[in-house]
Structure 1
Amino acid sequence: MGLDEAVLLSPDVEPIRYDVSLTPDMSKFTYEGSTEVSVTVVNRTSTISMHAKELAFWSCSYTPAGGSPQQAKGIELDVRATTVAFVFAEPLLPGKGTVAVAFTGQLNNEMAGFYRSSYTDINGISRVMGSTQFESLDARRAFPCWDEPSRKAVFKLTLTVPASLTAFSNMPEASCTTLPGGELKALSFMDSPRMSSYLLAWCVGEFDYVSALAASGVVVRVYTPPGKAASGEFSLDCAVRTLDLYDGFFGVPYPLPKLDMVAIPEFAMGAMENWGLVTYREVDLLIDPVKASSAQRQRVCSVVTHELAHQWFGNLVTMAWWDDLWLNEGFASWTENMAADALFPEWKMWEQYTVDSAAAALRLDAMRSSHPIQVPIRHAEEVEEVFDAISYCKGSYVVKMVHAVLGRENFQKGLMAYMDKHKYGNTITADLWAAWEASSGMPIAEMMQSWTTQMGYPVLTVSDFKEAGGKATVSVKQEWFLADGSEVSAADAKLWCVPILTSTKGGISDDVSMMREDTMAVTVDLAGGDWFKFNADQQVPMRVSYPDDVMARMSAAIKSKAMGASDRAGLLLDSYALVKSGRGNAGSLMKLLTSYADEDDATVWEAIEGVLTGLDTVLVADEGIRADLNKVAKKIIAPLLAKVGWQAAKDDGHLTVLLRATLIRLLGTFMYDDEGVVAEARSRIGNLRYA
């Protein structure tokens, strides 16, 4: 893990400082570069090794403080290890000094490192812009550096570019000098805060922008290709409001004086959280202010809130090594929903989470090919394999679980302490658990270890239901849930520390019990009702299997909507997963589906859609059962379609738009033979032909 420690960055010495100067030639797709690195040599050495990839080197020297420069006698590249070693004739003595390197790089077209994007401007002319993408291991493609998250450093960047172009970086511009001849200008940027190399960024090209001021005084800009500035207004509004929200939530104000968000024409990811200069794929930042759909607005808002969460969780406080990547991505994925829900409460983001991120995590993690949230990373290159739904979706799911167990006050109090203690530094997962244990007095590390260090999740099987005196008593057994229904041997058996959260007619119970063994007796206060449901609000990544008598009581609560939307959706998704795994009964699932005849919640209908289409696929070879499924589907789809209609209305809410889209998607599968549906479809096709 990492290079030798001849040149060390630690809290006991001054941080490494990089002065990076680049002169890109946009027409030849190359650039000349020089780097001066202020370091502390802690061990006598004849070699300084740095990360480097696809760079050509001309010279290297080391100058000790107060001494004369020593030229490297040799430059040795290791292509496989992506390193360069500068070898000196005489050993370098411990102390402070400066490493100066001259090199040449390529402005590649691989969307990694310092790369070029092609686009067509508003006049139809082909243009090229340059931008960066360094996470995880591609800062080394742009300049020689110690390219590891724990080697935090201060960066000062200078870009020499054509005078007609705009260039910006993480920090505001410190100076701009027009060079002799007037064709080039040198832009020097202010020193960055102490940060990891993968967060450094810059852009060069032609841009328009819109801007606003956050309540804290931070200038926020959205940069767009020329002529598209209006398309950045929505994301700008989201960013300003989110920045203000996070200042209070994390307890540490955003520490940079500006925040830029840039739309990049060619971009491999959805977005990248570079500190103070967040880069985005165009469709994840820019939307038509008039024609944008509800789904587009929600997507852009969620991506913006996710990336801005990283300005704290990932940038201000960074994982020490890539095996704790989930600390970045899982937490930002939870926070994106928290912030979007605060900005647009009418979207009901946490209800949507149940059928979106939570469902994705449960699907993937029910496979034997899954992996733990915390994955040992022996070589940095392996990190690319864990940018997946486990790190993002299951990671966010376990954060959601902690929030439910701790409560908002203890959760936020611990988070604030964590941020303040570790700001500008690096952490491991245990540091976060320690902060929450201190804020709550609860054994968070014990609970969370079972969820982050082992793959998979449990299914709780409920049995032996008894009711007396307004209380229900049941036996609960936990087992490793596998989607394929395969047997789990005794050697492979797993246990989780499962928080038991319960919903009843009276709402979500404040009592939380911890299930640490494979079986447990649980008593539930029915709060004046006759039904209960475990995993209230689907806060815990698990499935729950109930006996028929308990299911019958919950079915009544579904029909009356006494049960919340997240629980109505989650119960259906659990039942479907259990049937597919062989643990459930298809007839019971069909009966449960009829309980949703009066359902009108968009989130619950997304769950219904997934179950109906899944069953239709599974039953394709059994015409008899498939016909029964079609009858059930028509019975619950037709009344709601009549209510919602085909045509958008001016007073449609965000979720009504999403609901209508869900219903219309289902028509082709389950109501293709309905005369009214066929007539409406033909009418609309005819209108399109003559439009």
Structure 2
Amino acid sequence: MVFCCGCKKFWVMLVVMALVCVATIVGLWVYQFATSPPPTSPWDRYRLPDVLVPELYDVMLWPRLDPDANGDYVFTGNSSVRFRALRDTNLILLHCKQLELAPMGDHLARLTALSGTTPLIRKTWLHIPMQYLVVQLNGALKAGQDYELYTEFRGKLLDDLEGLYRSEYYEDGVRKVVATSQMHPTHARKTFPCFDEPAIKAAIQLTVLHKPGTVALSNGKEFASVNIVVDGQAVTKTPFEATPKMSTYLLALVVSDYDYVSQNDSTEIRIWARKSAISAGHGNYALSVTGPVLNFFEKYYNIPYPLSKSDQIALPDFYFGAMENWGLVTYREANLLYDPVVSSNRNKETTATIIAHELAHMWFGNLVTLKWWNEVWLNEGFASYVSYLGADSAEPDWNVKDLIVLDDVHRVFAVDALASSHPLSFDEDDIYKPEQITELFDTISYSKGASVLRMLSDFLTEPVFLQGLKTYLSAFAYSNTESKDLWDHLQAAVEKTGTTSLPTKVHDIMNRWVLQMGFPVVSIDTATGTVSQQHFLLDPDAVVDRPSDFNYQWIIPIRWMKSEGNSKLSWLLEKHADRSEMQTSGEQWLLANINVTGYYRVNYDAANWDRIMAQLHTDHQVIPVINRAQLVDDAFNLARAKIIPMSVALNTTTYLIHERDYMPWESTLDNLDYLYLMFDGSDTYELMQGYLKKQVAPLYAYFKNITSNWSKVPDGHTEQYNQVNALRVACSTGVDDCQKVTSAWYTEWMAQPHNNMIHPNLRATVYCSAIGSGGEEEWNFGWRMFKNASIAIEANKLMAALACTNNTTLLNRYLNYTLKPDEIRKQDATTVIVSVASNVKGQALAWDFVRANWKYMFTEYGVGSFSFASLISGVTASFSTEEEFDQLVEFKEENSDIGFGSGTTALMQAIERTRANIRWVAENQEEIRDWFIQHT
């Protein structure tokens, strides 16, 4: 599963905060759970007893795409699960949530012994708190014998984006309904009674009844459909081949009238979407990428693709970015469909990398699955890491592998530097509630997981990493593992290949990075060669109350180079060490963490910082482009942590007047965003604008020139990204003629709504710029185009741009639309609110809106529609005053009875961050203001 964010910079704050706060987890859990009374019965525990092992589910589902007499959409079905008893027991527990079970005589299920005698059922009931169907027996199931439990059930086909749910869209003016699914992580139980834990794998034989004229899809290949009559109603019956042995969360089902494009090499590949999207060719790019990515992973894992077909489908309503259901991957439309007329190169990259992420899971996650959710990071972190490799194999000209530094490493640093961060792995006993499991799918699991695995592959070398990975997957195919199993196989590969560069075993190295939160800053004194490490905290006054068995000390691989040499690898095992080889002399500089393969920040003595700055001004390209981005990011965050003066960080931006590469510019703009958030409305803000205008003007002129006055796009992939940066920043800082250009393009489009000549790469920036400088007429036009957009990618750009207006009446109207699903889809409500909050004119409006409507959003919309963590972090990102701090505390107290769900930790982080921001502004504003006066 992957969380996806949209295009850059107007909403950089939105993207960063959304990823920052898809909720990290705090130590309060330990206290809360340790003090809970012990359960008195097996059905009072969240985890299933390890007594029964399912072998096969035989499931029939009939989702209704038309409402019943009460106006409800429903589904009905039945299920037989064949299982074996490992020990004698008189109790059967299956997960079951929000299902009505049909009585069978006196009970809610029917039990049959497949050998021996069938025990009589004594009592059955639905245990709502733990989401169980409980079956108590008069006799005992016998160890080693097989049984079958049969149930019939009915559920509502809601629009809550969980389990088996309803999605709607309009095509050619006709309303269409889709039945689709999201079982991950704990929603299969909402579809049929099952053993809904990842380690309890079984094959699933599915049959679907559906409306004639529609198509049913599932994990396995569909067999021939037949038309039958059931209860006097004509239906189509579609059976599917049984799935391999798999976890229930991977089950997928879609019923629609979609169409597809396909190709069939060694594996049949189909891309499904609305008929109009398929006929317009919007599935063609995904189809062209899927084959090469599958081929890459077959070679990478050295295991053939395990299934007979690979379906991918674009859904109008889908909470996550995509979901790796085995054989039927589900996506948000904007993440799978690509239209060269309206899609930007970033949209294209998103499609390629998300496809690669999901297909990576077909082996790592689906074929081999983690035993429990406490180590979900290994599943998602691995897919996030190799998604760059898969996308690179499909689009080798993009050099996309470097972008992991911006999109994952730097991004997760912002979260992992907080005192309220958490480790990658938890004790299994600490994670058992469904809401806890959901919270684990955060940027720590995805981005830190990807970052430390990339570091691991680098210091092992890729051939050794791959050898261990291949034996791991082969050994545990169709089974479940723990992270230590992967370390075992990687260690075996190290020993088999005779790798001697490691200072200790793989387990010992990786446990430091996995079992304790945070990361180090490595400090290098080039005058003495002294190297040291310390736990990096963005707020040095924060108190870390999560203990670490390793005392926040890491085993650190350091790749470094001097100005005249090649890179070398050294290891830091202690808090402090002497490394005479890292001493420098004269004008010689030293640079560490080459290409940012290590998950840590780097600080230097003042003299080395000065020598690096001198090199940037003399010939910046001598320093690798990734490290130019790193220098900026490290310096700004070291300054925020009071490790170096703020002036040193700001000095890293002065050479940018000569910089044309994307990564250093993007890193700079991301870091300056924090200053913009802190100093909105002050004279420091205006000084920043003047300085950034001076720095970006040459970049704007450069792209204006090479694009023949914006009439074409640059050739390079990241060069196209930097063209967008140049236009956006130039317009926002008042570079001559920029605003005039974007407004003219938008006005031309308003005059000819069916002939949008704005290049797709530039549309998000142009829309925001023109709506921001325009009035109600521009906003109303953008709203009409948003509502009429038939392509989700275009709708997303307009949806973000509508939040750019300076008209507070329009912003309030837009906020209120988020509570009306006919205006703003539930899946997009959080994005709209946070987009409004990212506008200085809308920040207070968005915060007031969230406070006024919290109870309604929390109780009526629910976790399937709102990301409460993203919401809280997004609307509070700029908080830096005592008044805002008091409002946060009051918000927490006033809603304590309602709760905050997945936003609980985000609220604590917001309070922590606001307190730190207040101190930071007080301590740094004068120095920063003076620096900008000097450099403007």
- The alignment's TM-score, normalised by the length of structure 2, stands at 0.68
Match of 2:578 among 521, 525, 528: 521
Deviations, residues 450-489 of structure 1 (Å, cap 9, x unaligned) = 11111111111222x23xxxxxx62111111111122678
| Equivalence for 1:636 | 695
Q: Distance in 1 between matches of 2:334 and 2:534?
A: 42
| Equivalence for 1:404 | 458
| Equivalence for 1:604 | 664
Q: 1:419 to 1:683 in 2, by over 3 A?
A: same
- State the shift of 1:275 in Å: 0.3
Match of 1:383 among 421, 437, 440: 437
Q: Higher relative contact order at CA 8 Å, sep ≥6: structure 1 or structure 2?
A: 2
Between the two proteins, the alignment pairs up a number of residues equal to 671
Q: Distance in 2 between matches of 1:422 and 1:91?
A: 32
1:566 equivalent in alignment to 2:615: no
| Equivalence for 1:657 | 720
1:53 equivalent in alignment to 2:97: yes
Q: 1:394 to 1:526 in 2, by over 3 A?
A: same
| Equivalence for 2:207 | 158
Q: 1:625 to 1:146 in 2, by over 3 A?
A: closer
| Equivalence for 1:18 | 57
Q: 1:282 to 1:533 in 2, by over 3 A?
A: same
1:647 equivalent in alignment to 2:715: no
Q: 1:173 to 1:506 in 2, by over 3 A?
A: farther
| Equivalence for 2:552 | 494
Q: Distance in 1 between matches of 2:488 and 2:589?
A: 37
Q: Distance in 1 between matches of 2:480 and 2:315?
A: 29
Kept after mapping to 2: 8 A contact 1:341/1:349: yes
1:458 equivalent in alignment to 2:517: no
| Equivalence for 2:148 | 98
Kept after mapping to 2: 8 A contact 1:612/1:633: no
Q: Which has the larger displacement, 675-684 or 638-647?
A: 675-684
Deviations, residues 87-134 of structure 1 (Å, cap 9, x unaligned) = 23333333122222222222222111111111112x311121111111
1:138 equivalent in alignment to 2:187: yes
Q: Distance in 1 between matches of 2:542 and 2:236?
A: 68
1:226 equivalent in alignment to 2:275: yes
| Equivalence for 2:343 | 292
- State the shift of 1:576 in Å: 0.7
Q: Distance in 2 between matches of 1:527 and 1:547?
A: 13
What letter corresponds to residue 519 of structure 2 in structure 1? Y
Q: 1:185 to 1:617 in 2, by over 3 A?
A: closer
Q: Distance in 2 between matches of 1:387 and 1:662?
A: 30
| Equivalence for 2:75 | 31
| Equivalence for 2:508 | 446
Match of 2:264 among 206, 210, 213: 213
| Equivalence for 1:371 | 422
| Equivalence for 1:595 | 655
Deviations, residues 250-301 of structure 1 (Å, cap 9, x unaligned) = 1111110100001111111111100000001111111213331111111111
Q: 1:201 to 1:685 in 2, by over 3 A?
A: closer
Q: 1:528 to 1:550 in 2, by over 3 A?
A: closer
Q: Structure 2 matches for 1:33-432, cutoff 5 A?
A: 33-58=77-102, 59=104, 60-67=109-116, 72-94=121-143, 95-121=145-171, 123-180=172-229, 183-214=234-265, 217-229=266-278, 230-376=281-427, 377-381=430-434, 382-432=436-486
Q: Distance in 2 between matches of 1:244 and 1:172?
A: 20
Q: Distance in 1 between matches of 2:57 and 2:624?
A: 54
SS in structure 2 at match of 1:228 = helix
Higher strand share: 1
Q: Which has the larger displacement, 315-324 or 436-445?
A: 436-445
Q: Which has the larger displacement, 341-350 or 522-531?
A: 522-531
SS in structure 1 at match of 2:282 = helix
Q: Which has the larger displacement, 336-345 or 498-507?
A: 498-507
Q: Distance in 1 between matches of 2:406 and 2:667?
A: 6
What letter corresponds to residue 642 of structure 1 in structure 2? A
- State the shift of 1:159 in Å: 0.9
SS in structure 2 at match of 1:193 = coil
Q: 1:301 to 1:2 in 2, by over 3 A?
A: same
Q: 1:685 to 1:265 in 2, by over 3 A?
A: closer
Q: Distance in 2 between matches of 1:386 and 1:194?
A: 25
- State the shift of 1:683 in Å: 5.2
Q: Distance in 1 between matches of 2:342 and 2:650?
A: 39
- State the shift of 1:679 in Å: 5.4
Kept after mapping to 1: 8 A contact 2:57/2:205: yes
Q: Distance in 2 between matches of 1:3 and 1:283?
A: 38
| Equivalence for 1:5 | 50
- State the shift of 1:356 in Å: 1.7
SS in structure 2 at match of 1:183 = strand
| Equivalence for 2:802 | none
What letter corresponds to residue 452 of structure 1 in structure 2? V
| Equivalence for 1:12 | none
Q: Distance in 2 between matches of 1:225 and 1:280?
A: 13
What letter corresponds to residue 394 of structure 1 in structure 2? K
What letter corresponds to residue 163 of structure 1 in structure 2? P
Kept after mapping to 1: 8 A contact 2:636/2:671: yes
What letter corresponds to residue 650 of structure 2 in structure 1? M
What letter corresponds to residue 432 of structure 1 in structure 2? L
- State the shift of 1:390 in Å: 0.2
Consecutive unaligned residues of structure 1, counting only runs of 5 or more, are 10-14, 467-472
SS in structure 2 at match of 1:368 = coil
Kept after mapping to 2: 8 A contact 1:556/1:595: no
Q: Distance in 2 between matches of 1:347 and 1:529?
A: 35
Deviations, residues 373-413 of structure 1 (Å, cap 9, x unaligned) = 11334314111111111000111000111011011111111
Q: Distance in 2 between matches of 1:245 and 1:219?
A: 16
Q: 1:234 to 1:506 in 2, by over 3 A?
A: farther
| Equivalence for 1:469 | none
Higher helix share: 2
- The alignment's TM-score, normalised by the length of structure 1, stands at 0.92
Kept after mapping to 1: 8 A contact 2:700/2:730: no
Q: Distance in 1 between matches of 2:530 and 2:449?
A: 29
| Equivalence for 2:910 | none
- State the shift of 1:554 in Å: 2.0
SS in structure 1 at match of 2:538 = coil
Q: 1:345 to 1:458 in 2, by over 3 A?
A: same
Q: Distance in 2 between matches of 1:688 and 1:224?
A: 28
Deviations, residues 183-207 of structure 1 (Å, cap 9, x unaligned) = 2222111111111010011111111
Deviations, residues 221-253 of structure 1 (Å, cap 9, x unaligned) = 111012111111111111111001000001111
SS in structure 2 at match of 1:413 = helix
Match of 1:584 among 631, 634, 644: 644
Kept after mapping to 1: 8 A contact 2:258/2:275: yes
Q: Distance in 1 between matches of 2:61 and 2:744?
A: 61
What letter corresponds to residue 105 of structure 1 in structure 2? G
- State the shift of 1:44 in Å: 2.3
Q: 1:357 to 1:65 in 2, by over 3 A?
A: same
Q: Which has the larger displacement, 229-238 or 349-358?
A: 349-358
| Equivalence for 1:483 | 538
The alignment-based identity, stated in percent, is 29
